[in-house]
Structure 1
């Protein structure tokens, strides 16, 4: 394994570990891998709801 690949994998693992427990799943009927393009109204509504409590 190259040093570059090892560095990428280490950073990816660390990022995943830092974000663990913070994700939320929103099922979207009739949407596939690009739900933000296939169902933008549903995705935008869920994002606005998710961000409504954010004070940043």
Structure 2
């Protein structure tokens, strides 16, 4: 069983979490990667993150 470490909500389906695309642009430089934050769909706590190649 997977659960949110903050609110203990059981995470069983894709809709139980939300993926937030963090802005990959800072100042004059544009990153070649996209940064993602995974949040609990119930309480909004950050429970993970990831990086993906940008197009």
- In terms of Rg, which structure is larger? 1
TM-score by length of 1: 0.21
TM-score normalised according to structure 2 size: 0.21
Q: Which has the higher helix share?
A: 1
Point out the structure with the larger strand share: 2
Relative contact order, CA 8 A, sep 6+: which one is greater?
Answer: 2
